[in-house]
Chains A and B, each alone.
Chain A
Amino acid sequence: MTPVLKHELRAHFHTLSTWLFMAFLLAFVGIGAMLYNIQAAVANFEYVLQFVCIGLVVIIPVLTMRVFAEEKKQKTDQLLYALPLRTSGIVLGKYLALLVIFLIPTAIIAVYPLVFSKYGDVFLLTSYGSMLAFFIMGAALISVGLFISTLTENQGFAAGIAIVVFLLNYYSVRLSEYVSKGAVGSVIALSVLLLALTALIYILTKSSNLAIGVLCVGAVLLAAVWRFNRGLFENLLPTIMSKLSFFDRFYVFVNGVFDIGSIVFYLTVIVFFLFLSVQSLEKRRYN
C-alpha cells in the first residue's frame, strides 16, 4: 500500500487535473467567503461550504477520473497485477493519495474561520464541525469517482459518468418531490433498481448464477411485501431518494447539528465503493 500511496502522490503533483482540482476548490471557497462572510457579513463559515457543494459535483470527477482509467490506457495496470501487491492495497493506496490531495486545500480552507474570528464572532464549533463533515462527504464522493474510474480506460468517460451520477444525487431531494408517492410507483421503481443491481453484479462478477439468484431473492421479497404489507411501499421511493442524498445530509451539519448517523452513512459508502473497486479490478483479471 505505501509504495502505491507514495507513487500516486508524486504522480498527482505531475498532473494538471490535480492542480485544477485544488485551484478550483480554493477559488469556489474564496468566492463563497467573499459573498457570504464579507459582503453579506454573515458570521457562519458553514454557508460557504454549502455554496461550494455544487462545485464538488464537477471538480471531484476531474480529480478521480484518471486514477485507474489512465493505468489501463497506458497498460501499467499489468505492472500492478504482476508486482507483489494486494489489489486491496492498490485501491487503498490510491484512495489515500486522493484524500491527501483533498486534505491540502481543506487545510488552507481551515484558516478562513480563524482569520474571520479576528474581526468578529465566528461560530468556530459549527464551522469546524461542518468542515469535518464536508471533508468526509468529499471522501465519500471521491470513493464513488474512484470506482467509476475502474470501469473504463477513457478518462473523459469516467469524468462524465461521475458528474451525471453526482448531479442526480445532488438533485435527488428535489427530484423526489416529483416521483410517485404511491405504492405502485415505488414497486416499479424498486423493480428497475433491482434489475440495475442484477446487471451490475453480472458485469462485475460475470456469474450469471449469482445475478439470477439476487434477482430472484429481490423479486420474492418485493412480492412478499406487496402481498402482506402494502403500506410499506407508500412514500417509499421519495424517502429512499432523500436518504441517499450526500448533499442533503450535509445541510444538516450546516444547520448546526453534528449528525453521527450521516457520518456513519458516508463511511459506509466509502467502504462499499472501495470494495466494489477492488472487485472491479479483480474482475479485469478474469476477462
Chain B
Amino acid sequence: MIKVEHLKKYYGDFLAVNDLSFEIGEGAVYGFLGPNGAGKSTTMNIITGCLSPTEGKVTVSGYDILEEPIRAKRMIGYLPEHPPLYQQETPVEYLRFVGQAKGLRGEKLEKAIESVIELTGIQSVSGRLISALSKGYQQRVGIAQALLGDPEVIILDEPTVGLDPIQIIEIRDLIKKLGENHTVIFSSHILSEVQTICEKVLIIAKGELIAFDTPENLEKIEQEKCAVHLTVLGGPEETVQALSEFFGEESGRYSIDDSASEEPSDTTKVRIQTDGGDTKALCRDLFFHFAAKNLALTEMTTERASLEKIFVELTEQSAEREVEKK
C-alpha cells in the first residue's frame, strides 16, 4: 500500500530523517511511535506530499507521491499535527470545501459530509464557527476532514493530543473501527496508546527506524527493562548478604540505591533488574527470602520501562549494530 524507500530529509544542515525504509500493507492499524523530534511529523508530511524529501521515494498504491501527486493524494486522508482549519468557517462549510477539493460533488458530497460528522460526533457544533470550538472539537473536525471521501489510507498525526479522557477513548475506538477496512497510520508518543490499538508498531528515533514489530514483541523488550525496587528495614551489610544469597552468581542484577543516604535511616533501598521472566514470581520469591532472613520489606514496587528507556535501549542496539558493521 505505502512503500517508503531510503527517505532522507535535511532541514539546512540538520538531518531530520535518515535513510528510512519500510512498507505498509493493507487494512491494518499502524502505530508510529517516537519521542519528540524523532522525525514522525516530517515522515508523515513527506508521505502525504506536504513536504519534499531530500532523497528517497514514497509510493502510495504504486503511485509516486512526487510524480503522480494527484492520484496518490486521492488515496490519502491526512490530519497534520496542527489541524489545518479555517477559523472563520463552520465545520460544514469547511468540510464542503475539502470534499470538493477531493473531487466529491452534489448528493455524494452531502452524504459524505453527513457520515463523517456522525462518525466524529460533531453534529452538535456543525453550525458554529470553528474559531469558537474547543480544542477537542477542533481536533475532531480535523479528523473528519481526513476521513472525508473514504480514502484508503488515513494518516493521523497525534490525533488524541488535546482531548479529554473520554474523547481519547472515543477516538481510539474510532481508529480501531477504521482499521477494519482502511489502512490507518497514526503517530503518538504514548506507548500504551499504540499498544492497545495497533497491529504493528513502527518506532523511530533520531530519524531512523529502530523497530517495526508487533506490540507483543515490543512488550517483551519492555519486560526485560523492568525493575523491582525494595526498601529493606535493615542495614546495607545484611541486605547485601541476603541479596547475594538470593542471586548467587548474578551479582550484577541488584544495586544499592544510596541516593537518599543524607537522612539517617535504618532502611536500605535496592534496585533489582528483571531478566524478562515472570516479575510477579520474582517479587514473591524475594518477599519470602527476606522474610526467612528476618528482614522486613517496607516497600516493594515494580517499575515498568518507560518509552524513553525502550528508545534508549533500541537506539543503543542499533548504534551497536552500526559499529559491528564497520
Q: Which A residues form the contact surface with B (CB < 8 A)?
A: 2-4, 6-7, 10-11, 14-15, 74-79, 81-86, 285-287
Contact = CB atoms under 8 A, between A and B. Distances in A.
Nearest to B88: A14
Interface of B: 11, 45, 48-52, 69-71, 73-74, 76, 78, 80, 82, 84-89, 93, 97-98, 100-103, 145
A84 B69 CA distance: 7
A237 B87 CA distance: 48
A82 B73 contact: yes
Contact of B101 (A4, A15, A74, A285): A4
The 10 closest A-B pairs by CB, nearest first: A79-B84, A3-B100, A84-B73, A81-B50, A7-B97, A83-B101, A76-B84, A82-B78, A3-B101, A75-B82
Contacts of A11: 86, 88-89
5 contacts: A2-B100, A14-B89, A75-B84, A76-B86, A85-B70
B98 A74 contact: no
A84 B101 contact: yes
Given A10-B93, A84-B74, 15 more contacts: A3-B100, A6-B97, A10-B89, A11-B89, A74-B84, A74-B85, A75-B84, A76-B84, A78-B45, A78-B50, A79-B145, A83-B98, A85-B70, A85-B101, A286-B52
Contact of B103 (A79, A84, A286): A84
Nearest to B45: A78
A214 to B, nearest CB: 22
A82 B48 contact: yes
Contacts of B82: 75, 78
Nearest to B83: A75
B100 A74 contact: no
B80 A6 contact: no
A27 to B, nearest CB: 25
A78 B146 CA distance: 12
B52 A285 contact: yes
A81 B44 CA distance: 13
A34 to B, nearest CB: 36
B50 A285 contact: yes
A285 B51 CA distance: 5
